[in-house]
Amino acid sequence: MKSVTLNTLRDYKTRGEAFSCLTAYDATLARCADNAGIDLLLVGDSLGMVLQGHKSTLPVTLDHIRYHTACVARGKQRSLLMVDLPFMSNADSGQLLRDAGELMRAGAELIKIEGQAWMADGIRELDRRGVPVCAHLGLAPQTVHRLGGFKVQGKAEDEAQRIVDDACRLVDAGAAVILLECVPRAVGRAVSKAVEVPVIGIGAGPDVDGQILVMHDALGLDSGYVPRFVKNFLSGNDSIEAAFRAYDAAVKARRFPGEEHCF
């Protein structure tokens, strides 16, 4: 099978076809997800919570992300590999460029950055140097303390409009993909219509272009709190790869997420 590229995701959006994404942190499970047809793998700073046992993503360092990026890059073949920049990598343009360069050398094919419209200059600098960027909007876990917890964003009309406006501005700056986390379904739909680039959702409803889940959540590995947008795909399946195939099929048939998973 051909490798998934940004052009593949753009083609999915043009044709109105959904695509599947999962987090991954090691070679074995990355290979399993790749074999199951998952289009995009994310080495997320969520590893701080699901692998390291922290209460947030903030303790995750560049060295942690780089290590897991190299592991996943060795395990996958077809899937596009997106990688998170950890907390404070966007402190200034020099730091941003150095950290993104380190992750690209480790195997990243798409760099994800949390932030709002103020990230436009940084995204422009990365794009100018050939680094493809995914802009992460809505609930940004790296700002959890400022937000007062893991809360749905964009519920008020002005907040919803700001998310749409920020997405447009960041795409104009060069963002190749938008990721929306924990926003009302209407916001997911509005952003997907407002921008030409693929929009990935996690807790953003079914009207975006792609869906992503934390791999551990998709396997029903309960960490004590199960977000509304999560579904256990291992239930009813006899292997991890079968669970990933079920998730991939449900996303592409637009059976997941359902209304019960939406805000």
Distance CA 169, CA 125 (A): 14
Beta bridge partners of 43: 83
Beta bridge partners of 114: 136
* Residue in this structure with the two tokens 């690209």, named with its chain if needed: 104
- 259 has catalytic annotation: no
Among 28, 124, 123, 43, residue whose Cα is nearest residue 76: 28
Alpha-carbon distances of 254 from 9, 219, 248, rounded to whole Å: 16, 19, 10
Which amino acid makes up residue 74? R
Contact 146, 170 (CB under 8 A): no
- Catalytic annotation, pick one of 125, 181, 196, 241: 181
Contact 188, 198 (CB under 8 A): no
- Continuous segment of H or E residues that includes residue 234: none
Catalytic residues: 181
